[in-house]
Amino acid sequence: MNNRKRQVILASLKLFVEKGFNSTSIQDILDEAHISKGTFYNYFSSKKDCLSAILDIGSSDAALRKAELLIGKSLSDKDVLASQIETIMQVNKERNLLPIFESILHSGDIELKSTVQKYHMKEIEWLSKRLLDVYGPCIVLYRYDATILLFGMINQLLHIGTAIKVENTSPIDAIKYALRQLDTLLPSLIANKDAFIGKDLQRFICENRDHEPMTSEEILNQLIGFRLVLESDLNEACIEFTDCLIEEFSSEKPRYYIISSIAYKFYDSFRDSKHELEAIEIANSIWQITRAYKERKREKQLQ
């Protein structure tokens, strides 16, 4: 991601938050970013395309932070899961996505709502997999129902708690409370074979999944291109972690467990720098490919 594209994304995000998506025109974005119309359309075909890029950055940032919380921890640790769910909320707040969601919800634009829906479906798919990690394969037929119930409980607890001004209403407490209720609900779902929306939701997610993870070769090419634009006076850690990743992906057999550890440090080293957005994009691609590798390995062990 070059500086000009980054400039367009940041300007668009600022305006979408301040004015609302529908009230922001392409001309507003051109004026805020100090670019020509041709430059905008060189990167994005429309405002909606620009919105998708903003949501992708938020999704990637959340995915990386969630993965970082798992380092050295067990997949079945409920406290880790609670912290990961809280991270989703933190990223939405930090990146000012909540006002955008609110304006889109009231826009009446079906296509626009679909764009945001895909963002939320990624969260649902992720949580359904994490519930399998925590509760085991016995919930496989009920994981999507459990996911919807959990998200619903958390959102309503926080919404009502804020509305009635409950003191010390914290997301992590609400999340842990909802998980304790799920402990009680899951045995009932399994005993009664009570799946309400799971199969339909699973089919919908599969049919609307965007794309497969990048290949190792594609990530290597992206890393090499990224390395070429880094300044020589940049933080030494940024250069070192970038070079380490290039070296690993250049190997005939990349060591994915080592790569995943380096990727988190790579991502962290670029925080608050002008290269942060592209570092998030690259690190998320790496996280996806390492996750796919780990899932394939786990499936083989279960066979």
Give the dihedral sign, CA 234/250/262/125.
positive
- Per-residue pLDDT at 173 exceeds 80: yes
- Domain range list for the chain: 1-44, 54-207, 216-302
Q: 300: Cβ–Cβ under 8 A, 6 or more apart, which residues?
A: none
The DSSP code sequence of 83-115 is HHHHHHHHHHHHTTHHHHHHHHHTT--HHHHHH
- Per-residue pLDDT at 201 exceeds 70: yes
- Mean pLDDT to the nearest integer, 271-280: 81
- Mean pLDDT to the nearest integer, 4-15: 88
Q: Which class is 1-44 in CATH?
A: mainly alpha
- Mean pLDDT to the nearest integer, 209-216: 69
- Mean pLDDT to the nearest integer, 186-215: 79
- Per-residue pLDDT at 154 exceeds 90: yes
Least confident of 31-40, 101-110, 141-150: 101-110
- Per-residue pLDDT at 211 exceeds 60: no
Rounded to 10°, the helix 97-105/47-69 angle is 130
**How far apart are the C-alpha atoms of 221 and 217, rounded to whole Å?**
6
Any long-range contacts for 12-20 (C-beta under 8 Å, 24+ apart)? 12/47, 12/50, 12/51, 12/54, 13/54, 13/95, 13/96, 13/100, 16/51, 16/54, 16/99, 16/100, 16/103, 17/96, 17/99, 17/100, 20/99, 20/103
- Per-residue pLDDT at 166 exceeds 80: no
- Under the banding of pLDDT at 50, 70 and 90, the label for residue 213 is low
pLDDT value for 188: 92
- Per-residue pLDDT at 302 exceeds 70: no
pLDDT value for 127: 92
**Tens of pLDDT along 282-301?**
887 888 788 777 777 766 66
Mean residue pLDDT across the chain: 85
- Under the banding of pLDDT at 50, 70 and 90, the label for residue 1 is low
Share of the chain above pLDDT 90, in %: 26
